Structure 1
Amino acid sequence: MAIAMKGFHPLQICVVKMNKPFISLCPEVTREHALKLMHWLEDERVTCYLSDSPHVSRSIEHAIDRTQLPILTHLFNQGGRFFMAYDRHDTPVGFVRIIKTGANCEIVLVIGDSDKWGRNLGALTIHEGMKLAFLDMRAKKLIAKIHPDNTRSLKAFLRCGFLLESETPALKSFSMTAQRYLQLLREGAVGNSPRIYVTEIDKARLESLIPLEQGQAVIELEHELERAIVVKQEHVARDVVTMNSRALLQLDDEQIEVALVYPKDADSNAGKHSVCSDIGAAILGYQEGDAISWRISDRTRRIEIRRVLYQPEAAGDFHL
């Protein structure tokens, strides 16, 4: 059963700068998520710019009634890709739908938890949506259609770099091209993470590796490579995590020692984590003292680079 989402063009948020908020997008939709969606769609503040909200709410209700399956992902992905948006506490706060038509995609997103408005979560959700549209779905252009009175949405998409493409009294259409997205990413204008550093040879090797690998971590790795500051091997700072480095990490309340390796050398039991794994993609290019939030094994973890124990470049092992 398809859940019709056509006509959803809202973004109910208030964009205010706060201390490093975090959003991750997850494709799995459970019955609990569906019930939460229905609850959000009963809030007039959320639905005031949603033309199809009553129909969508009824469709979700019918889907729940007609199936006893605990996972409803397949119902929500008919006609597009649907994602639940989680905050750093792994609490669902909204949803994203990306519909691909030809070479382009359209993004629809809602921050449904009104208690979380004003925390910049909408803009971060847009950033995550762009990552999926351009690096996973390989869209040439991402389009957002917004009601002219939805000022919060308008400001958020403009702040994320979208450009006005067309407008009517009833709708404004904004777009982001893949070329512009990559340019903004390389300039550090997308996201709120610290800048990272990758050596020329590491980047070349990893770019040749990416087409051979699959999974969400590979999308994250490509994203990190695109935004990285590229330096020569002999110029990289000694406290940067490069390929084949060993580092001491603070992972939430636990300290672990890891080695960042290529997939062929990976052995997680021995602490050797592939750069195409969640932890590996997370730590590449960061420096001692950097701390980030990252989704690992379906939950958000806080990672701090406590110390770089060994770096090939610092040791003169340029052959690694």
Structure 2
Amino acid sequence: MTKPFISLCPEITRAHALKLMDWLEDDRVTCYLSDSRDVSRSIEHAIDRTQLPILTHLFNRDGRFFMAYDRHDDPVGFVRLINNGAECEIVLAIGDSEKWGRNLGTRTIREGMKLAFLDMRAGKLIAKIHPDNQRSQKAFLRSGFELESETPTMTSWAMTAGRYLQLLREDAFRDAPGIYITEMDKAKLDNLIALEEGPVAQLEHELERAIVVEPDQVPSTVVTMNTRALVQLDDEEIEVAVVYPEDANSSAGKHSVCSDLGAAILGYQEGDAIDWRIAGRTRQIEIRKVLYQPEAAGDFHL
């Protein structure tokens, strides 16, 4: 069975706003949504105030707003991350009722955690859920959240940054095949992430869940740094090299490890297939063959 896939997109268009309004008119969607009135009101104001096709800036006040897409690039829901100092509150809904029962809510929660902890650097993520909303409570429980407090009208579930990283390292989520990274590559990439040179949340997520091995112990079929590989990208077969940002030249097939494609294939091995959002749309990626790997060639200095 194909695992559920969700990607979160920060761009909010006028068409998205109208779709959100449709979802929020469905009582089945809003009956347990803690801030449905606030969301609905803000959307109405955004639509009324401007005729601009892109409304992202109007949705990102007091936090960040994302549309949730499935693997077919259909919008199926939304995520709102609300800043509260070191803490962050997550509000989400799968608005497309035809997609209910497919574990998309759980996957959406995990994508929201990735952004909250690795991009927004929240220390703690909170979800406030109505006690009768058993489906949401189970989804947050499956995602590793712990019950923090409970009243007759509200349950509060929490995840700390430390616990999130621990679960990643233990591969508790099992959303994708396991990946490998060499100790040398990880040390260099950790330094790159510390400098935050470019978008690094996806890369950091992959590094945290990777199996770390000595350079001479990594399988020769694994995509390591400076590896060249033959990759199937949807229906197109291309040759890709994963390089550090300063060596990137996408026209020559050299993709930065911070780029969508570079972060996507790092650590995977021949035969692995994944879905990944690249340049605004979901792509199917398969590692067909590793053409050159520095470690296999004895080029440990690369």
Q: TM-score, normalised by structure 1?
A: 0.92
Shift of 1:190: 2.2
Q: 1:135 aligns with which of 102, 107, 118?
A: 118
Rounded to whole Å, the distance in 2 between the matches of 1:262 and 1:195 is 22
Please tell me whether residue 263 in structure 1 is matched to residue 254 in structure 2: no
Match of 1:242 in 2: 224
Please tell me whether residue 20 in structure 1 is matched to residue 3 in structure 2: yes
Residue 187 of structure 2 aligns with an amino acid whose one-letter code is: A
Shift of 1:169: 0.4
Structure 2 residue runs without a partner (length 5+): none
Matched ranges for 1:30-45 at <5 A = 30-45=13-28
CA pair 179-59 structure 1, distance change in 2 beyond 3 A: closer
CA pair 55-213 structure 1, distance change in 2 beyond 3 A: closer
CA pair 269-55 structure 1, distance change in 2 beyond 3 A: closer
Match of 1:228 in 2: 210
Match of 1:293 in 2: 275
Shift of 1:215: 4.1
Task: Tell me if structure 1 keeps the 8 A contact 2:86–2:124.
Answer: yes
Residue 158 of structure 2 aligns with an amino acid whose one-letter code is: S
Match of 1:101 in 2: 84
Percent of aligned positions with the same letter in both sequences? Answer: 78
Match of 1:47 in 2: 30
User: Does 1 or 2 have the higher relative contact order (CA < 8 Å, sep 6+)?
Assistant: 1
Deviation string, structure 1 residues 267-319 (Cα, Å, up to 9, x no partner): 11111111111111111000000000011111110110000011111111111
Please tell me whether residue 80 in structure 1 is matched to residue 81 in structure 2: no
Residue 284 of structure 2 aligns with an amino acid whose one-letter code is: R
Shift of 1:61: 2.5
Rounded to whole Å, the distance in 2 between the matches of 1:134 and 1:20 is 23
Residue 206 of structure 2 aligns with an amino acid whose one-letter code is: E
Shift of 1:79: 1.3
Please tell me whether residue 162 in structure 1 is matched to residue 135 in structure 2: no
Task: Tell me if structure 2 keeps the 8 A contact 1:199–1:233.
Answer: yes
Deviation string, structure 1 residues 69-97 (Cα, Å, up to 9, x no partner): 11111111111111110111111100000
Match of 1:305 in 2: 287
Deviation string, structure 1 residues 208-259 (Cα, Å, up to 9, x no partner): 111334444x110011000000000111001000011110000000000011
CA pair 100-182 structure 1, distance change in 2 beyond 3 A: same
Rounded to whole Å, the distance in 1 between the matches of 2:181 and 2:84 is 35
Rounded to whole Å, the distance in 2 between the matches of 1:131 and 1:52 is 22
Residue 88 of structure 1 aligns with an amino acid whose one-letter code is: R
Residue 239 of structure 1 aligns with an amino acid whose one-letter code is: T
Rounded to whole Å, the distance in 1 between the matches of 2:9 and 2:257 is 21
Shift of 1:198: 0.2
SS at match of 1:131: helix
SS at match of 1:142: strand
How many residues in Structure 1 have an aligned counterpart in Structure 2? 302
RMSD value over aligned CA atoms?
Answer: 1.2
Match of 2:136 in 1: 153
Please tell me whether residue 283 in structure 1 is matched to residue 265 in structure 2: yes
SS at match of 1:190: coil
Task: Tell me if structure 1 keeps the 8 A contact 2:77–2:92.
Answer: yes
SS at match of 2:93: strand
Structure 1 residue runs without a partner (length 5+): 1-17
Rounded to whole Å, the distance in 2 between the matches of 1:129 and 1:66 is 28
Task: Tell me if structure 2 keeps the 8 A contact 1:248–1:307.
Answer: yes
Q: Which moved more, 1:225-234 or 1:262-271?
A: 262-271
SS at match of 1:50: coil
Rounded to whole Å, the distance in 2 between the matches of 1:226 and 1:37 is 34
Match of 2:155 in 1: 172
Task: Tell me if structure 2 keeps the 8 A contact 1:213–1:276.
Answer: no
